[in-house]
């Protein structure tokens, strides 16, 4: 019997969830997936959010590292975090791909895999050998030298995710060997759960996906640590500013102390010698400035007799910044 809109009881949490699911499935773009109740998902919303944030942070680190390594702008973006069986991971491997087995932990007993399409792997190898970053037709398994060059890139990928998950990680991942046959990996049993981080690597004219797969038993301790941090965060009370301060308390910032900057042309700069006196716009009796991330934040005074110690005596004003840092 149709429900009367004027006399509608509030939905329970379970009914509301099912209503949302039905509504989403009625959309034109709805996608349904089989759910294996014998292997329930282990990534709840909090875990997924934290791992996705780690994946995005690792992508930024990897982009900077690869650009420096290959002396060329290389874009890396975090594409997807997924949870699947090891069997499904093997079935998703492209026909032509390099499979790098990785080991984790101090003892190296943990196993994982990085899947790199040959098109991307060959382009990276070509660039590291001094050529353009373009895919080449290998027509054979990569040589030992080519695998070592590819390891330079994959190691940066592993360092990125390890640093992004720090201090909860302790993965200490490193490359072990390369395979072309998925059946030769043997890093887990078919029904075991694997968590994958997929990155899109390349440029506008060349782009492909690199996939890092880690069995759940390796990430288990990391996930438990993330759960504890998430639960602790939920228990905390206070204003938004207090929570932000708490989140930022562990981040290190570098502060430098010095005069207001002086502008010099290239000719004068090239002729500077030891003993020369440089005239600045900084008054002799004015306090020095404490600069953080390129911005003057504090007025600073050196303490007599202790040249390595400075006392913060106030905050900079907009007027002072405008006059001395123009």
pLDDT, tens digit, for every residue of 129-178?
Answer: 888 888 877 777 888 998 999 999 899 888 888 888 776 666 788 899 99
Ranges 17-26, 148-157, 306-315, most confident: 148-157
What is the reported pLDDT for 323?
59
Name the packing angle between helices 118-128 and 45-70 (round to 10°).
40
Q: Residue 191: is its pLDDT beyond 70?
A: yes
What percent of the chain has a predicted confidence (pLDDT) above 90? Answer: 10
CA–CA separation, 237 vs 164, rounded Å?
26
Q: Which of 69-78, 106-115, 309-318 has the lowest mean pLDDT?
A: 309-318
- Furthest-apart CA pair in the chain: how many Å? 95
What is the reported pLDDT for 20?
46
How many residues comprise the chain?
326
CA–CA separation, 178 vs 99, rounded Å?
6
Name the packing angle between helices 45-70 and 144-165 (round to 10°).
140
Higher pLDDT, 239 or 180: 180
Q: Which of 56-65, 95-104, 225-234 has the lowest mean pLDDT?
A: 225-234
CA–CA separation, 253 vs 295, rounded Å?
12
Q: Residue 305: is its pLDDT beyond 70?
A: no
The pTM for the full model equals 0.58
CA–CA separation, 75 vs 84, rounded Å?
27
Is the CATH number of domain 45-235 3.40.1550.10? yes
Could you give the C-alpha distances from 12 to 15, 18, 19, in angstroms and in order? 5, 10, 10
């Amino acid at each position: 019997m149709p429900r009367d809109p004027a006399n509608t009881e509030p939905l329970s949490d379970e009914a509301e969830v099912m209503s949302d699911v039905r509504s989403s499935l009625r959309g034109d773009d709805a996608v349904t997936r089989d759910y294996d109740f014998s292997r329930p998902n282990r990534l709840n919303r909090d875990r997924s959010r934290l791992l996705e944030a780690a994946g995005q942070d690792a992508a930024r680190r990897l982009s900077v590292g690869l650009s420096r390594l290959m002396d060329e702008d290389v874009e890396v973006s975090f594409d997807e975090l997924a949870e699947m069986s090891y069997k499904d991971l093997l079935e998703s491997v492209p026909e032509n791909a390099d499979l790098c087995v990785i080991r984790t932990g101090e003892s190296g007993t943990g196993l994982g895999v990085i899947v790199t399409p040959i098109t991307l792997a060959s382009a990276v190898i070509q660039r590291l050998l001094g050529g353009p970053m373009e895919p080449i037709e290998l027509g054979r398994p990569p040589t030992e030298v080519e695998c070592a060059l590819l390891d330079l890139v994959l190691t940066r990928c592993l360092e990125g995710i390890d640093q992004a998950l720090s201090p909860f990680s302790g993965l200490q991942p490193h490359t072990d060997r390369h395979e072309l046959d998925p059946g030769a990996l043997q890093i887990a049993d078919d029904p075991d759960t694997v968590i994958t981080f997929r990155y899109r690597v390349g440029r506008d004219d060349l782009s492909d996906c690199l996939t890092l797969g880690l069995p759940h038993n390796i990430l288990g301790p990391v996930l438990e640590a993330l759960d504890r941090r998430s639960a602790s965060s939920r228990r905390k009370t206070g204003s938004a500013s207090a929570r932000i301060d708490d989140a930022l308390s562990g981040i290190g910032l570098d502060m430098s102390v010095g005069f207001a900057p002086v502008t010099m042309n290239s000719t004068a700069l090239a002729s500077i010698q030891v003993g020369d006196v440089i005239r600045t716009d900084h008054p002799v009796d004015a306090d020095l400035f404490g600069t953080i991330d390129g911005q003057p934040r504090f007025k600073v005074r050196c303490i007599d007799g202790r040249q390595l110690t400075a006392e913060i005596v106030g905050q900079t004003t907009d007027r002072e910044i405008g006059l001395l840092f123009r």
